[in-house]
Amino acid sequence: MNFEELQKNWQAQRPGAQVTINVEALLREVRRNQRSFGTTIFWRDAREVAACIFMTALFLTWGIQQREWSLDFLALCCLGVGIFFVADRVIQRRKQPAKNQSLQMCLEDSLREVRHQIWLLKNVFWWYLLPILVGIGTVVASKLWHQRHTELTALIGLAVFYVVFYGLVYWGVYWLNQRAFRKELEPRRLELEALLASLK
């Protein structure tokens, strides 16, 4: 059998007849799905903004109540991280690829998105952990300074506790981010690069 005969067989199949679609129900479903997608995105962003506002307001209020400038500084650090996060989300959404672009462009855009996600996770220390660490460090340093007249061993104990506690929390957050990068994003990047290479 030559290719033309194969093609003829292929084109003679009527796969559409294997599917029965209730168009009215499908239309209701796609509309519902679209609404639900929009709602999911909205609430995801709203959650992040709300968390940022909450943390900022919380530390700011404490700072004002306790007349403690380091808490105000921590609030500012939280606000900075939140602004970076939201701004990045907005910029990335504007770069969202169109659904109808060519396969090559679609792959390039997907690769760009994955690389950006990888960049965010690989640099999570610089844009997320470090600013908040600086804020927390300032609060801890200020607390220790206020207690400088207490016994030296107690002071050292407190300092060690803070270092160990925040060290563990930070290590956990960093490890989770790097794991997501290694397990999910890196394989996806390699897959997309291979697909793109097969088009070139």
Partner 1 sequence: MTAQEQETIFRQWLDAHLGLMLKIVRGCTAAPQDQEDLFQDVLLQVWSSIPAFRGEAKATTWIYRVAFNTALAWRRRERRRRERHETFLKFDVSPQSQPSHADTLPEQEIVEQLYAAIRQLPKVDTSLALMHLDGLSYSEMAEVLGISENYIGVKLNRTRKQLAEQLKGASDEL
Closer Cβ to partner 1, 39 or 66, answer by number? 39
Pick between residue 102 and residue 153 the one whose CB is nearest to partner 1. 102
Residue closer to partner 1 (CB basis): 13 or 153:
13
Q: Which stretch binds partner 1 (CB under 8 A): 18-26, 149-157, 164-172, 174-182?
A: 18-26
Q: Mask: binding to partner 1, 77-116, rule CB under 8 A, as x and -?
A: ---------------------xxxxxxxxxx--x------
Burial of 31 (0-12, 13-18, 19+ CB in 10 A): exposed
Instruction: Find the part of the chain contacting partner 1 (CB under 8 A) among 19-27, 58-66, 121-129, 148-156.
Output: 19-27
33 is an interface residue for partner 1 by CB under 8 A = yes
Dihedral angle, C-alpha 80, 86, 90, 92, nearest 10 °: 90
Instruction: Please report whether residue 7 would count as binding partner 1 according to CB under 8 A.
Output: yes
- Strand, coil or helix: 149: coil
One symbol per residue from 167 to 196: x for binding partner 1 (CB under 8 A), - otherwise; what is it? Answer: ----------------------------x-
Contacts of 111 by beta carbon, 8 Å cutoff, 6+ apart: 189, 192, 193, 196
Rule CB under 8 A: choose which of 50, 156, 169, 199 binds partner 1: 199
**Residue 20 or 65: which CB sits closer to partner 1?**
20
Q: Give, in degrees to the nearest 5, the angle at Cα 160 between 141 and 57.
A: 45
From CA 62, how far away is CA 47, in angstroms rounded? 22
Q: What 3-state DSSP class applies to 4?
A: helix
Which residue has tokens 């239309």?
A: 27
Q: What three-state secondary structure class fits 116?
A: helix
65-79 in b/e form (b: 16+ CB < 10 A) is eeebebbbbbbbbbb
Task: Give min distance, CB of 140 to partner 1, in A.
Answer: 41
Q: Give the binding site for partner 1 (CB under 8 A).
A: 1-3, 6-7, 9-23, 25-30, 32-34, 98-107, 110, 195, 198-200
